[in-house]
Structure 1
Amino acid sequence: MKTISTQEELEQGIKRSHEGTVVIFKHSTRCPISSSANEEMKRVVDVFEPKGISFGLIYVVENRDISLALADQLGIKHESPQVLVLKGGQVVWHESHYAIRYDTLEQVLTTSP
């Protein structure tokens, strides 16, 4: 999972979604819910990164401007923790808080076109 900490890295991630699926995880190191979601995401990355899905990580406290820029660019309300699945430069699925679970993401990543 590649850390996204600049506007340029954010643009690259969105652009990469035109070539394949990109998953962006917005994580707060200060939030216990986010810590739990991070553990779920580690499992997802271990399984799906080798299958060619790209993963990006935004630390929302340290890079709040990037997190808010992502919300503005994609028209999705900012939440943390939050996962966004991108294809073709658009959000095709997103979820936050306790809904960030391995089994849910597994279904999304194996069934979406």
Structure 2
Amino acid sequence: MIELNSVEEWKGILDRSDNQPFWLLKHSTACMISARAYRQVEGYMKIRKSKEMDMYVVKVIEERQTSNQIETDMNVKHASPQLLLIRNKEVLWETSHWNITKKRMKKVYEDMLMD
């Protein structure tokens, strides 16, 4: 996972999403549910077949400004943990909390490839 540490980094990644979809995890370092979601994402990253899609993480407490900018840019209500799949500067899919699982990520990714 690649950690986002500024609004500028976020804007650069978003601009590149026209050519490359990516996952984004909004993660709270102070939340047990978020820790579980983080482990699910790590597990998915280990088993996935395609290494073509990057995974970014923003720590919502430490990078509140970046987290808020993501909420504004993507027009999605903030949640933590929250997982977004972004392509062409749009959210293709979003989920949060206990719904962040390896199995769900695998299905979403496979469905996206079929589009």
- Alignment TM-score, normalising by the size of structure 2: 0.92
1:53-101 deviation line (CA, Å, top 9, x unaligned): 0111100010011101100011000110000000111000000000001
Matches within 5 A, 1:64-75: 64-75=64-75
**Amino acid in structure 2 at the alignment position of 1:43:** G
**Amino acid in structure 2 at the alignment position of 1:106:** K
Pairs aligned (count): 113
Q: What's the offset of the Cα at 1:20?
A: 1.8
Which residue does 2:92 correspond to in 1? 92
Instruction: State whether residues 44 and 106 of structure 1, in contact with CA within 8 Å, keep that contact through their aligned partners in structure 2.
Output: yes
Instruction: State whether residues 23 and 86 of structure 1, in contact with CA within 8 Å, keep that contact through their aligned partners in structure 2.
Output: yes
**Amino acid in structure 1 at the alignment position of 2:71:** A
Instruction: State whether residues 16 and 22 of structure 1, in contact with CA within 8 Å, keep that contact through their aligned partners in structure 2.
Output: no
Q: What's the offset of the Cα at 1:21?
A: 1.6
Which residue does 1:38 correspond to in 2? 38
1:18-37 deviation line (CA, Å, top 9, x unaligned): 11221000111110000100
* Percentage identity across paired residues of the two chains: 27
Q: What's the offset of the Cα at 1:47?
A: 3.3
Q: What's the offset of the Cα at 1:15?
A: 1.7
Matches within 5 A, 1:1-113: 1-48=1-48, 50-112=50-112, 113=115
- Alignment TM-score, normalising by the size of structure 1: 0.94
Structure 2 unmatched ranges of 5 or more: none
Whole-angstrom distance in 1 between the partners of 2:47 and 2:89: 23
Whole-angstrom distance in 1 between the partners of 2:102 and 2:54: 16
After superposition, the Cα gap between the structure-2 partners of 1:10 and 1:111, relative to the gap in structure 1 and judged at 3 Å, is same
